[in-house]
Amino acid sequence: MKAHIVTLPGDGVGTEVTAAAVAVLQGVAEHYDHHFAFEEHAIGGGAIDTFGEPLPAASLAACQRADAVLLGAVGGPKWSDPNAPVRPEQGLLALRAALGVYANLRPLQVHPALANLSPLKNEKLKDVDVLFVRELTGGAYFGAKTRSADSATDECKYTVTEIERVVRRAFELARGRRRQLTSVDKANVLETSRLWRSTVQRVAADYPDVKVEHQLVDSMAMLLLTQPSRYDVVVTENLFGDILTDEAAALAGSLGLLPSASLGNGTHGLYEPIHGSAPDIAGQGVANPVGAILSVALLLRHSLALEEEARAVEAAVHEVLQHGPRSRDLGGSAGTAAVRDAVLVALEQHACIHRAIFAGVRACG
């Protein structure tokens, strides 16, 4: 397979973890006989410094041409003035809107070897496997905004079309898993949530094989910490999804572990770890690249339809998390390069085993 992948390393540790993720993609290409062409562009704070805007036209055009986009992180203290007219996050929001990616997938699994890093007791973490589907282009983040000396407003607006498309994606994903869907809203207070709930209830009629439940967002925040293994696929609006998935990341032991995929109607997607630019450790070579590497697995699966390769990347990461080396946020001392190299070694072994099975031989040297 040939694929064109645009990388947007962004700011802070984004450059470091993106480089590790690209190395893994190059390893996949080598071991599975693919050709991936990479094209790097600017986004975020660095783009503001160089081009005066967080998403230069050249960056956006390249992303629109690509088969997939791999993003690092944006932002940092240098650009954190809330009164600044141009901010790094504006580039990310504009990119999501321009690419038409409306469903943000954030899988959460708790690795048994890392259970002690979670704030929850180990028995609560058994069999936790949740897929969050966050609506990505509507709600308060994209609504009209006003600001005066003594007041401010952020409009939260949703249309039936926006809700239905992300909910249908969630139902389809649930069909491929344990056939359970939890929809999160605030329908006892918010009109947008009442529209959300009624839309989910209508769409559910087309998926009689999927069990549906509704949870209010405040209750869900509690239940994620008390009964996390109860959930399969969780779908919710933009703001609620942003908050709940960061909360859920604590269950895994570190923000550095979790990937994400932002998808639209086709195969084109935007892939990124859920963590931020971590300016406090940027440039030290100690950032955990696992979230970015697992985002590569999602890229292979959803944009390139390379399921075997995606599973190989995930298996390689699993092996490294089990046996080490581990990065500092996971209680280890390994730097970004050491974790990357360990994943590459494990990936090579998995690819070798795959080739041996395919060739009908027993040994893999």
Catalytic annotation, residues: 141, 186, 218, 242, 246
Closest CA to 74 of 145, 148, 133, 10: 10
Which residues are paired to 70 by β-bridges? 7, 271
Closest CA to 26 of 314, 313, 223, 350: 313
Half-sphere CA count of 252, side-chain side, radius 13 A: 24
Chain Cα centroid distance, residue 323: 24
Inter-residue contact 132 to 243 (CB < 8 Å):
no
The total of other beta-carbon atoms located within 10 Å of residue 296's CB is 29
Q: How far apart are CA 66 and CA 303, in angstroms?
A: 10
Rounded to the nearest 5 percent, the helix, strand and coil shares of the chain are 50, 20, 30
Q: How far apart are CA 342 and CA 180, in angstroms?
A: 36
User: What is the end-to-end Cα distance of the chain in Å, rounded?
Assistant: 26
Inter-residue contact 28 to 34 (CB < 8 Å):
yes
Give the ranges where the chain is alpha helix by DSSP (H): 14-32, 45-51, 57-65, 88-99, 160-175, 191-204, 217-226, 238-252, 290-302, 307-323, 336-359
Tokens for 169? 């994606």
